[in-house]
């Protein structure tokens, strides 16, 4: 039984379509990851600000400490 040969141009086109779909999926997932990282950073900033408010240290003392 002979196998049907698919022309190389058709194989290239099919593979390019697969790559394009995967890239679109990758881009979508990468964007979700970036949003999650951004949200995590915002939570950390908020927590830090809340702790600074609770602290008995002055702004200058905290800034000096952070600057090293």
Q: How far is CA 11 from CA 36, 38, 49, 51, 60, in A?
A: 38, 40, 57, 60, 66
Residue spans of the domains in the chain: they are 9-67
Distance CA 30, CA 50 (A): 30
Contact in structure between 62 and 55 (CB atoms under 8 Å): yes
Distance CA 27, CA 62 (A): 40
Across 49-57, average pLDDT: 91
Residue 55 vs residue 26, higher pLDDT: 26
Q: Residues 20-46: pLDDT tens digits?
A: 999 999 999 999 999 999 999 999 999
């Amino acid at each position: 039984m002979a196998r049907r040969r698919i022309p190389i141009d058709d194989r290239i086109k099919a593979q390019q379509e697969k790559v394009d779909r995967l890239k679109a999926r990758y881009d979508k997932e990468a964007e979700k990851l970036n949003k999650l990282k951004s949200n995590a950073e915002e939570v950390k900033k908020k927590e830090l600000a809340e702790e600074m408010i609770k602290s008995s240290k002055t702004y200058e003392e905290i800034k000096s400490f952070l600057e090293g």
